[in-house]
Structures are given as structure tokens and as C-alpha cells.
């Protein structure tokens, strides 16, 4: 095999198709800070890992530039899978849990390959948390990214600076297909400069310093709640309700961060009052979920007006919704079956993406061929257009109906709306 970053005609041919389907997987997808990244430099991107394969696909779509990813080594055990991963420009990295022998025998070579990737100014992406988790927080960062950065700096830091770029991926919902995604690039860490400033320190000390700096900067790119925070659920509930859904995705993130900061400062000033409040919020969360009420309904200021216009839209949209449900039955039925086979619900969006990616084009082709063979071209054209948009309409309208039902439940649940817990959510 040649270098993983070398041009590949088949890969280049498939990229636009993949990017197109990634875009379809989200109602809204925004990128912030990519245009401010260092030029003529070697860049390693450190991203939080919350949504399995979708994290890589979202990052891939950020730009048309070449990108190489690093994934956990246990995925590369079978030779066929390893070849597919190489084609997809994914390198393995082995962890202690994979065995000391795997780490010793393989990682030195992988680090050399990774350093070569960024030497060629191809963007290298990895997840220093080393595993995915659907949580607005960060695990302790593993050392792999710093080994790569220091190796690269030793090899060619005198030619071009080596940077680590803190990268945040913020999803509107970890589990619902066609939610939102924000990719937020932060202030890069100049590794070359940092090493030069700490020449008298050992490699271990330098790594720890870089890790502290990267952790701090990555936390600024997401709605970050400290990993050791025992009141995580209550704080996130209060944040979502106070921040709401207005504005673009970056504005929502900024409001989330400000609200979390306010809550944590309030907790520090008034720990007893905060403890009492968090207990009440936890009870409120349980009651809300038991009633099937979404937190987005709780965050609405004028619930009656919202229910009124949504009811009208629901009535008008239901006939088309029924038609799209019938037309796309194979896609959503297969998706449901596959989703239920995964114990880890974090794979739900990846499954939804993969099923649509494979089945929708096949069924679309079948629809076009059959309708143009059997029907007048005007009707066949209309059927083809309908089928093209049908699955997206089905998914979006399903979500609309879910929120509509939630809004109705919230509007008529006076006891829950006027409870003490609900009032103090807007502390």
C-alpha cells in the first residue's frame, strides 16, 4: 500500500456523493472558525467524540480538502476491514486495552505515518478521548495525539510549525436523525513554539502541559459541563430551557456556555440552595419524561400559539405524510430493525445515515425506471420528484408530530407547568 494520503481516483469520485448524503442527514449544519486556521502549517485536529461514525462524516464535509482520520485499532483486526479503512483514509491507533503487544508493535509505525500525513499538509483528525460518549463533557485526553505532535515537531518543526487545533462538534440531538450539527474550530496550539519555550522540561512534562492546554481549549468549543459534575443532568436541563433554540447554531452554543457558567458560579456561591434546586430539577426531569414531554416544549414562552399553528400544519400535512410513509417503507422499516439490534443507542444516527445512503438511491432508481416505463412522462416525472423528497419529508414531519404532541401535553399539564421545580428552572 502507498501513502494513505495519496490521491485515489475512486475515493475522489465518491467524496461528493458521501458529502451530499451527510448534508441530508442534518436539517442544519454549520462550520465556524475553519477560515481562520494556520496556513502553510502541519495541523492535527483534536475533536470531541460523541456520535460514533457521524463525527467523522461531519468533519469530512467541512471542506473538500484531503483529510485523514485515526480510529481505535481493534477495528482493524481483519485484513479486509483494514484494507477498507485504508481506502477510507483511516489509520489505526492502539490503546493499552488492546494489549501491550499491539501498542508496542504497531503504534511507532502509525505515529510515523501520521507525522508524514501532516508534513504533507493533509489535515489529520483524531479523537483524543479515545472512545465515544453522548455527553456534553470531555474524558481525560489520551497521549496518542501528543506523541504524534512531538514526533512531527522533531522531524520537521524547523521547516514548518506544528499545530493542534481544538475542535468541537455540537449536535442538536445525539439520537435523532436530521437534527443539527455545529463544527466549531478553536484557537490552535502552536506545538513548535510551546516545545521551544520548554526546552529544559522532559517529554512527559511537555505532554502534560499540552494536554492541560488542549483540554481547556476543547472545552470552549462545546457546551461543556465538567466530567466530574454530579449534577450533570439537572444542569443540562436548566441550560436547555433557559437558552432555547433561537438564532444560529453558534449563537445557541454561546448561550449554552454562558448559562452553564452562571449555574456553576451560582452553585459555588450558594451550594445548599443549589443542591436543593438540583434535586427538584431531577424530579421534574423524571416527571417530564414519564409524560412524554420534550424539553423543547418546556422552553417555549407562548405554548398556546405554538400548539395552534402546529395543529393546522399537522392537519394539512398528514395526507402527504401517509403517502411518504408508504413510499419509503423499506427504508424506515430496515432502519428501525437495525437500530433495535444495537445496544449502544449512540449508533442510531449512523444506522439511519447508512440505511438512507444505501437504500434511497437504489429505490429512487427503481422508481424512476418503473414509472417512466409504465406511465406518461409527465406523471413519471412528478412521481420521481415526489420520491426524491419523500424520505426527508417523512423524517422531518415525524419529528414535527413528535414535538406537536409534546407541546399539547405540556400545554394541558397545568400541574407540571406550575410546579415549583419548573419555576426554578429559570433561576
What sign does the dihedral 155-156-157-158 (CA atoms) show?
positive
In angstroms, how far is the first alpha carbon of the chain from the final one?
59
Structure confidence at residue 28 (pLDDT): 94
Structure confidence at residue 76 (pLDDT): 83
Closest CA to 90 of 61, 113, 119, 121: 113
CB 132 within 8 A of CB 346: yes
The three-state (H, E, C) secondary structure of the chain, written as one string: CCCCCCCCHHHHHHHHHHHHHHHHCEEEEEEECHHHCCCCCEEEEEECCCCCHHHHHHHHCCCCCCEEEEEEHHHHCCHHHHHHHHHCCEEEECCHHHCHHHHHHHHHHHHHHHHHHHHCCCEEEECCCCCCCCCCCCCCCCCHHHHHHHHHHHHHCCCCCEEEEEEEEEECCCCCCCEEEEEEECCCEEHHHHHHHCCCCCHHHHHHHHHHHHHHHHHCCCCCCCCCCCCHHHHHHHHHHHHCCCCCHHHHHHHHHHHHHHHHHHHHHCHHHHHHHHHHHHHHHHHHHHCCCCHHHHHCCCHHHHHHHHHHHHHHHHHHHHHHHHHCHHHHHHHHHHHHCCCCHHHHHHHHHHHHHHHHHHHHHHHHHHHHHHCCHHHHHHHHHHHHHHHHHHHHHHHHHHHHHHHHHHHHCHHHHCCHHHHHHHC
CA dist 261 and 251 (Å) reads 15
Angle, CA 351 vertex, CA 346 and CA 357 arms, to 5°: 145
Domains of the chain: 9-219 (3.40.1130.10), 303-417 (no CATH)
**Other beta carbons within 10 Å of 43:** 20
The pair phi, psi for residue 164, each rounded to 5°, is: -110, 125
pTM for the model stands at 0.92
CB 133 within 8 A of CB 227: no
Q: At what angle do helices 377-412 and 329-340 cross, to 10 degrees?
A: 50
Structure confidence at residue 46 (pLDDT): 97
CB 57 within 8 A of CB 349: no
Q: At what angle do helices 329-340 and 303-327 cross, to 10 degrees?
A: 100
pLDDT along the chain (427 residues), means of 10: 88 94 95 91 96 95 94 82 88 70 71 93 94 94 94 94 97 96 97 95 95 97 94 95 90 96 95 92 93 92 92 97 97 96 93 96 95 95 96 97 96 82 62
Find the length of the chain. Answer: 427
Structure confidence at residue 383 (pLDDT): 94
Closest CA to 183 of 307, 297, 318, 28: 28
CA dist 8 and 11 (Å) reads 5
Q: At what angle do helices 53-60 and 9-24 cross, to 10 degrees?
A: 110
All three cell numbers of 354:
447508512
CA dist 69 and 87 (Å) reads 11
Amino acid at each position: 500500500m502507498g501513502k494513505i494520503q495519496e490521491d485515489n481516483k475512486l475515493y475522489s469520485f465518491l467524496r461528493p456523493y458521501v458529502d451530499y448524503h451527510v448534508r441530508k442527514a442534518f436539517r442544519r449544519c454549520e462550520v465556524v472558525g475553519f477560515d481562520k486556521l494556520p496556513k502553510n502549517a502541519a495541523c492535527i485536529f483534536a475533536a470531541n467524540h460523541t456520535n460514533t461514525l457521524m463525527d467523522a462524516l461531519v468533519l469530512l464535509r467541512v471542506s473538500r480538502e484531503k483529510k485523514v482520520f485515526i480510529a481505535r485499532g481493534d477495528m482493524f483486526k481483519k485484513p479486509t476491514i483494514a484494507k477498507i479503512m485504508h481506502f477510507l483514509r483511516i489509520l489505526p491507533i492502539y490503546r493499552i486495552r488492546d494489549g501491550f503487544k499491539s501498542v508496542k508493535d504497531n503504534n511507532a509505525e502509525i505515529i510515523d505515518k501520521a507525522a508524514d500525513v501532516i508534513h504533507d499538509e493533509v489535515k489529520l483528525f483524531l479523537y483524543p478521548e479515545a472512545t465515544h460518549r453522548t455527553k456534553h463533557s470531555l474524558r481525560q485526553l489520551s497521549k496518542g495525539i501528543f506523541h504524534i505532535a512531538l514526533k512531527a515537531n522533531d522531524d520537521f518543526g524547523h521547516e514548518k510549525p506544528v499545530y493542534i487545533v481544538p475542535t468541537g462538534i455540537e449536535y442538536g440531538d445525539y439520537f435523532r436523525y436530521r437534527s443539527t450539527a455545529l463544527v466549531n474550530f478553536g484557537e490552535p496550539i502552536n506545538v513548535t513554539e510551546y516545545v521551544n519555550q520548554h526546552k529544559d522540561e522532559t517529554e512527559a512534562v511537555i505532554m502534560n502541559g499540552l494536554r492541560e492546554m488542549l483540554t481547556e481549549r476543547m472545552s470552549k468549543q462545546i457546551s461543556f459541563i465538567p466530567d466530574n459534575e454530579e449534577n450533570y443532568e439537572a444542569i443540562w436541563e436548566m441550560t436547555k430551557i433557559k437558552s432555547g433554540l433561537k438564532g444560529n447554531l453558534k449563537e445557541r452554543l454561546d448561550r449554552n456556555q454562558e448559562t452553564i457558567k452562571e449555574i456553576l458560579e451560582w452553585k459555588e456561591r450558594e451550594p445548599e440552595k443549589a443542591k436543593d434546586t438540583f434535586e427538584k430539577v431531577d424530579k421534574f426531569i423524571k416527571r417530564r419524561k414519564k409524560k412524554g414531554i420534550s424539553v423543547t416544549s418546556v422552553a417555549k414562552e407562548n405554548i398556546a400559539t405554538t400548539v395552534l399553528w402546529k395543529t393546522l400544519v399537522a392537519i394539512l400535512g398528514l395526507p402527504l405524510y401517509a403517502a411518504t410513509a408508504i413510499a419509503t417503507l423499506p427504508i424506515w422499516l430496515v432502519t428501525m430493525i437495525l437500530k433495535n439490534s444495537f445496544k449502544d443507542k449512540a449508533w442510531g444516527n449512523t444506522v439511519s445515515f447508512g440505511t438512507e445512503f444505501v437504500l434511497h438511491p437504489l429505490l429512487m432508481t427503481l422508481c424512476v425506471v418503473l414509472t417512466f416505463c409504465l406511465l406518461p412522462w409527465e406523471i413519471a416525472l412528478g412521481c420521481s420528484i415526489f420520491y426524491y423528497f419523500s424520505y426527508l419529508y417523512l423524517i422531518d414531519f415525524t419529528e414535527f408530530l413528535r414535538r406537536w404532541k409534546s407541546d399539547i401535553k405540556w400545554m394541558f399539564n397545568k400541574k407540571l407547568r406550575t410546579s415549583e421545580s419548573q419555576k426554578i428552572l429559570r433561576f
